């Protein structure tokens, strides 16, 4: 049992130290325990990255350079860099997706690349809209190259994603592009909800989950169906794979929300208390506010005052730490850890309703386990 991230219960999470192992999933023993997730992620990266780089090379200057900076292939001065290209969960899923339909993993590569392009289109635009200055331990594109390039290169990556798929020219490629478009629309809906929630005093847990399903669930779902669709899978199979991916995405996001408050900046590449600084109505916050009780009420009063405060931008570490402690005391941290476990379970159970090679099934389970134990 390797899963040890979401904590084994309240007694673990009550220490609340930032950067410590966060919250936990005790899940059933499966063949997943023998899967080497690092190799799976590595395979996704190895097969998809050259095709992704070739796609980005199609962009006209200076967009190719700006995109290469965003992906971490060069630094701000234009020198080659082996920067952090992210966890590469989506490419790994897209290749397994092809295999789930009985196709070779290579069949999933254009899907992996298209999903990565859409994911990074959304990062470029979201970082600008949200005013985020850091991503993957480096200054964001709008900080380095200006807002216009962030908009433009984001647009270009979105267009490129469709181009990569449609140039395959098959009926399957058209179906895959349609699924990617649906996921992209959900992604945009989620960002719209995220922005509007930041201006509201209260957001319900249901609204937050819907937003996170749009922002994270939909594209992970597409990553898990796109390879299968390119490999000729029918819509029912693709839909079930998407169900696994969607709930995996919700588990992923619940963990992200925990890391966004209690994550170790050295591991996440974000500022301390990152989500609190941005007034994000993330799951721990909305769950804490919905919980009731003295800590919940004190937190509510504090956040309401913060929303009107002109000093917010100069808050000290201690002021954010105090808010994090109240979120934890009101139960928001444990509720979110439990939600991650719940979504992880739904994701894995969805796989039971579709036929696929045992090895692929074990690998998908192992990836789901990985998603909830990661620290960055």
DSSP 74: B
Task: Output the smallest distance, CB 170 to a second copy, in A.
Answer: 8
Q: Are 97 and 173 in contact (CB under 8 A)?
A: no
DSSP conformational letter for 60? P
CB of 47 or CB of 117, closer to a second copy = 117
106: CB partners within 8 A, 6+ apart: 47, 95, 98
Toward a second copy, which CB reaches closer, 63 or 92? 63
CB nearer to a second copy: pick between 7 and 217? 217
- Contact yes or no for 282/261 (Cβ under 8 A): yes
- In the complex, the residues that contact a second copy under the rule CB under 8 A are 60, 62-63, 121, 125, 128-129, 147-148, 151-152, 154-156, 158-160, 162-163, 166-167, 169, 171, 173-174, 177-178, 181-182, 184-185, 188-189, 191-193, 195-196
As measured in angstroms, the least distance from the Cβ of 147 to a second copy is 7
Q: How far is the CB of 160 from a second copy (least distance, A)?
A: 7
CA dist 169 and 231 (Å) reads: 14
User: At closest approach, how far in Å is the CB of 180 from a second copy?
Assistant: 9
Nearest distance in Å: CB 51, a second copy: 17
Residue whose CB is less far from a second copy, 211 or 290 = 211
Nearest residue (CB) to a second copy, 160 versus 288: 160
Least separation, in Å, of the C-beta of 15 and a second copy? 37
The angle that helices 109-130 and 218-230 make with each other, rounded to 10 degrees, is 160
Q: Measured from the CB of residue 40, what is the shortest distance to a second copy in angstroms?
A: 30
Could you tell me if 83 and 136 are in contact, meaning their C-beta atoms sit under 8 angstroms apart? yes
Smaller CB separation from a second copy, 33 or 189: 189
Of the two residues 162 and 345, which places its CB atom closer to a second copy in the complex? 162
| Phi, psi values for residue 80, rounded to 5° | -55, 145
Distance CA 203, CA 92 (A): 34
Across-strand partners of 74? 80
Helix (H) or strand (E) holding 13: helix 10-13
Helix, strand and coil percent figures for the chain, each rounded to 5: 70, 0, 25
User: Which residues are 80's β-sheet partners?
Assistant: 74
Q: Which residues pair with 134 in a beta bridge?
A: 139
Q: Which residue has the tokens 């509007």?
A: 196
Comparing CB distances to a second copy, the nearer of 157 and 356 is 157
Matching residue, tokens 């331990």: 137
Spatial separation of the C-alpha atoms in residues 144 and 47, rounded to whole Å: 29
Query: Rounded to the nearest whole angstrom, what is the least distance from the CB of residue 151 to a second copy in the complex?
Result: 5
């Amino acid at each position: 049992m390797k899963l040890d991230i979401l904590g084994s219960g309240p007694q673990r999470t009550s220490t609340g130290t930032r950067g410590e192992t966060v919250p936990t999933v005790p899940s059933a023993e499966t063949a997943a325990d023998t899967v080497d997730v690092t190799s799976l992620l590595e395979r996704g990266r190895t097969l998809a990255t050259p095709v992704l780089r070739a796609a980005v090379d199609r962009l006209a200057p200076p967009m190719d350079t700006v995109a290469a900076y965003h992906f971490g292939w060069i630094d701000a001065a234009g020198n080659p860099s082996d920067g952090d290209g992210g966890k590469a969960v989506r490419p790994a899923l897209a290749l397994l997706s092809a295999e789930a339909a009985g196709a070779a993993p290579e069949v999933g590569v254009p899907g992996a690349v298209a999903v990565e392009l859409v994911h990074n289109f959304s990062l470029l635009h979201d970082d600008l809209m949200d005013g985020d200055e850091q991503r993957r331990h480096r200054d964001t594109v709008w900080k380095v190259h200006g807002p216009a390039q962030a908009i433009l290169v984001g647009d270009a990556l979105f267009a490129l994603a469709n181009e990569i798929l449609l140039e395959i020219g098959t009926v399957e490629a058209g179906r895959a592009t349609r699924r990617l478009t649906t996921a992209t629309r959900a992604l945009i809906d989620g960002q719209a909800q995220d922005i509007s929630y930041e201006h509201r005093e209260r957001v319900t847990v249901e609204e937050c989950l819907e937003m996170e399903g749009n922002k994270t669930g939909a594209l992970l779902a597409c990553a898990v169906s796109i390879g299968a669709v390119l490999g000729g899978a029918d819509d029912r199979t693709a839909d079930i794979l998407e169900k696994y991916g969607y709930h995996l995405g919700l588990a992923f996001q619940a963990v992200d929300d925990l890391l966004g408050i209690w994550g170790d900046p050295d591991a996440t590449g974000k500022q301390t208390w990152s989500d609190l600084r941005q007034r994000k109505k993330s799951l721990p916050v909305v769950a804490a506010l919905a919980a009731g009780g003295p800590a919940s009420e004190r937190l509510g009063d504090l956040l309401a005052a913060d929303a009107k405060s002109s000093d917010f931008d100069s808050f000290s570490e201690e002021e954010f730490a105090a808010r994090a402690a109240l979120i934890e005391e009101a139960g928001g941290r444990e509720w979110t850890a439990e939600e991650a476990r719940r979504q992880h379970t739904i994701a894995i159970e969805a796989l039971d309703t579709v036929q696929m090679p045992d090895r692929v099934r074990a690998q998908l389970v192992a990836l789901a386990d990985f998603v909830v134990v990661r620290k960055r």
